[in-house]
Chain A
Amino acid sequence: DVKVTQSSRYLVKRTGEKVFLECVQDMDHENMFWYRQDPGLGLRLIYFSYDVKMKEKGDIPEGYSVSREKKERFSLILESASTNQTSMYLCASTTRTVPNSPLHFGNGTRLTVT
């Protein structure tokens, strides 16, 4: 069974702090994604990656960056956290080799920026 692990379930950070959200998958998936989920807005794509050292902007990349140095790990970085980045962050992975392969999600990180 695919396992996507996010390093923290809950995080509280202060405005202006640099925040790292880590995600690891164990199924050798090529594609990895970071979403944020807010009430009434659904899941919105921040960044995604097709392979090591590759990254593509999603729909709301402003204020975020990502790093994919190893295939199994995809990190989301908030360079200077702001209160409007308080949200649930979900990491997901999938493979390109199977056409109907769904996204497999981690359990999420609920980030509060005060």
Chain B
Amino acid sequence: GQNIDQPTEMTATEGAIVQINCTYQTSGFNGLFWYQQHAGEAPTFLSYNVLDGLEEKGRFSSFLSRSKGYSYLLLKELQMKDSASYLCALRSNDYKLSFGAGTTVTVRA
């Protein structure tokens, strides 16, 4: 089985940086994904980590430590449009993808 934990809510100011942590326990690891979901819309893919380290994609970066069961998503130069839920998702060896409950990020002017 899998257990995925992430904070429920975070608030930050426009232009700032926010780090969303995700801790997990799993019996079989085959990759960690981050998704963004705006209210009323489907989740969209942000990033993927399967090896330890940092993956950078423009303003968004994601980090993974498999030994610690830990990942974070870093959002830099926050914009109002970044207000959304951010979902940490774990893929197991059978390609099943399990999601955390999501972190709602609110960006204030």
Contact at B42–A90, with CB atoms within 8 Å?
Answer: yes
Docked Cα-Cα span, A28 to B100, in Å, equals 28
Residue of A nearest to B6 (CB): A42
Residue of A nearest to B55 (CB): A100
Docked Cα-Cα span, A58 to B50, in Å, equals 22
Interface size bucket, A side? 20 to 34
Chain A CB within 8 A of B48 CB? yes
Chain B CB within 8 A of A25 CB? no
Contact at B95–A102, with CB atoms within 8 Å?
Answer: no
Contact at A105–B96, with CB atoms within 8 Å?
Answer: no
Interface size bucket, B side? 20 to 34
Contact at A58–B41, with CB atoms within 8 Å?
Answer: no
| Interface pick from A43-51, A63-71, A76-84 | A43-51
Known interface pairs A99-B31, A100-B31, A100-B48; A105-B42 also in contact (CB < 8 Å):
yes
Q: What residues on A are CB-neighbors of B41 within 8 Å?
A: 107
Contact at A42–B102, with CB atoms within 8 Å?
Answer: yes
List B residues at the A interface (Cβ < 8 Å): 31, 33, 35, 41-45, 48, 50, 87, 89, 94-102
Q: What residues on B are CB-neighbors of A102 within 8 Å?
A: 33, 35, 45, 48
Q: What residues on A are CB-neighbors of B45 within 8 Å?
A: 102-104
Residue-by-residue, is A68-101 near B (CB-CB < 8 Å gives 1, otherwise 0)?
Answer: 0000000000000000000000100010100110
Contact at A31–B31, with CB atoms within 8 Å?
Answer: no
Known interface pairs A99-B50, A102-B45, A106-B42; A42-B95 also in contact (CB < 8 Å):
no
Contact at B42–A33, with CB atoms within 8 Å?
Answer: no
Contact at A41–B98, with CB atoms within 8 Å?
Answer: no
Q: Which of A45, A59, A108 contacts B42 (CB 8 A)?
A: A108
Known interface pairs A102-B45, A103-B45, A105-B43; A50-B95 also in contact (CB < 8 Å):
yes
Residue of A nearest to B94 (CB): A56
